[in-house]
Structure 1
Amino acid sequence: MTDLRTSPVNDGELFSERARQYAHDKPLLGGLQVLEAGCGWGRGLDYGDRGHQVTGVDVDLPGLREHTRRREDLHAWHLGDLRTVPMPPRAYDVVYAPYVIERIAHAELVLDRLVASLKPGGLLLVRLRDRDTAFGFLDRTLPASVRGLLGHGRPDGSAPDQPLPPATVYEKVASRQGIRWYCMMRGLVIAEEYATRHSVTAAGAGSGLLDGLCRCVAGLTRGGLTAEHSEVAFVIRKPENRYARVI
């Protein structure tokens, strides 16, 4: 059964706990096998005392490459076009993809590759900025200089000395409804879903400017572009039996 919820949550803590729980429920020879998409600028999960091997993938940009090289928690990494970088099929127990889907072209194709790399029963942990929100509208339409002043650059709260993530693209799948549709069409199970305003509150801390702009957009669109959340987090399960019917 799919359990859909919308409540504030720290995705790092949520996803770390889900990965540790998976390792606890399914003792694995060689430890938990993890693929981290977007390894070049963000931070990894906390696996506690669970044995694990983490492989990172990301686009190949100078700042992202340098950050990836400095990361001591990655056991292997590959940078390049996410449509072609190595992602062996059915190799990983967990795929962690924070703030990646909204930042790439050909996002469905990349998602297909991430899902294919999961073992049956594995977890896809996704967080993204929702294009179908007031925040998403501002993020994809305001000039880059204005977005920078609003603090849109670091959705995960990473330190200023870390590289900025790639610019947002916002294909249709990069939304709450887009991910729901994608999972339905691919036979994936959304186990948990959360909507938060983290990007709005973090970027507008101390001024409320971004929050005010989002609420203005929501009012002008009569709620068509909501100001109630700016990003969504999903815990998605790949069925053990690919012929299973998802209700």
Structure 2
Amino acid sequence: MSAQPEIKSSAQAAEAMNRIYRYQRYIYDLTRKYYLLGRDRLIASIKPGAGDAILEIGCGTGRNLVAVARRYPATPLYGFDISTAMLETTKRSLARHNLGRVTVAQADATRFEPTMFGRQGFERIYISYTLSMIPDWRAVLERATSSLKPGGRLLIVDFGQQDELPAWFKRFLFAWLAHYQVHPIAEMGPALAEIAERKGLRLRTDKICRGYAFYAELERAG
């Protein structure tokens, strides 16, 4: 079982993330590009149809939102994060890239509703290296899958269990990640399989770089 911290209220979680990233957000994208593997694969796999709406859960600095907006310029795009500090950086990044069409908000991933963006659901939802930072990650998956429209897909990339890499590397990585309240989820695969079976979703999973990262897609029937 992966060691997850206690579940906090939305206000407590927001303050915790603000403390961690109040200053790190300024160098976040420069440093994370070397070890948040699989993000660009996820973005390339979104492939929305005409008029499809895309939501990012845990948009952080806005790095992915900018990349998605550039790749799919005609698609309605939304994102939210619980950290107000991160959202300040996101909004500056979107303004710098003239992406006023992207809508962002502050929200708790375990409690969000599509109606906060005036929508009933989304055709594409993606979660990039966010679930491992959320103690109640199962609630996020429940919310995300329930927010998919018919034919919609949920795409996920996050830290794997390093099962094909040296044991010393896993110990070092997990200890380092824990300093930033990141806890790779050993139960992710079985949890996704259970949700897929219960909700009638199609599940596809894959390992990236010998288990360094975990990739998954959940698709609702059209």
Paired residues of 2:124 and 2:152 also in contact (CA < 8 A): yes
Gaps of 5+ in 1: 1-9, 149-165, 198-227, 241-247
Measured in 1, the distance between the counterparts of 2:208 and 2:146 equals: 28
Count of aligned pairs between the two proteins: 171
The one-letter amino acid of 1:186's match is: K
Whichever structure has more helix as a proportion of its residues is 2
1:43 paired with 2:56, answer no
Measured in 2, the distance between the counterparts of 1:94 and 1:120 equals: 10
Shift in CA distance, 124/68, structure 1 to aligned 2, threshold 3 Å: same
Match 1:75 to one of 84, 99, 102: 102
Measured in 1, the distance between the counterparts of 2:182 and 2:161 equals: 10
Equivalence map 1:1-247=2 (5 Å): 11-20=38-47, 22-23=48-49, 27=50, 31-41=51-61, 42-44=63-65, 45=68, 48=71, 51-62=74-85, 64-72=86-94, 73=99, 75-88=102-115, 90-131=120-161, 133=163, 138-140=172-174, 142=175, 167-171=181-185, 173=187, 175-190=188-203, 192-197=204-209, 228-240=210-222
Q: Deviations over 1:140-183 (max 9, x none)?
A: 4x266xx78xxxxxxxxxxxxxxxxx63134554x334333332
Measured in 2, the distance between the counterparts of 1:112 and 1:126 equals: 13
Which structure has the bigger radius of gyration? 1
Shift in CA distance, 189/48, structure 1 to aligned 2, threshold 3 Å: same
Percent identical pairs in the alignment equals: 18
Measured in 1, the distance between the counterparts of 2:120 and 2:172 equals: 38
Shift in CA distance, 182/130, structure 1 to aligned 2, threshold 3 Å: farther
Measured in 2, the distance between the counterparts of 1:69 and 1:138 equals: 34
Q: Alignment partner of 1:82: what SS?
A: coil
Q: Deviations over 1:163-208 (max 9, x none)?
A: xxx63134554x3343333323332212x432112xxxxxxxxxxx
Measured in 1, the distance between the counterparts of 2:200 and 2:126 equals: 19
Please identify, of 37-46 and 109-118, the stretch whose mean Cα deviation from structure 2 is larger: 37-46
TM normalised by structure 1 equals: 0.58
Gaps of 5+ in 2: 1-36
Measured after TM superposition, the shift of residue 109 of structure 1 is: 0.9
Shift in CA distance, 112/56, structure 1 to aligned 2, threshold 3 Å: same
TM normalised by structure 2 equals: 0.64
Instruction: Give the match for residue 6 of structure 2.
Output: none
Q: Alignment partner of 2:211: what SS?
A: coil
Work out which structure has the larger RCO, using CA pairs closer than 8 Å and 6 or more positions apart in sequence: 1
Shift in CA distance, 193/176, structure 1 to aligned 2, threshold 3 Å: same
Measured after TM superposition, the shift of residue 120 of structure 1 is: 1.1
Measured after TM superposition, the shift of residue 125 of structure 1 is: 0.8
Cα RMSD (Å) of the superposition? 2.9
Measured after TM superposition, the shift of residue 75 of structure 1 is: 1.9
Shift in CA distance, 82/48, structure 1 to aligned 2, threshold 3 Å: closer
The one-letter amino acid of 1:35's match is: L
The one-letter amino acid of 1:40's match is: G
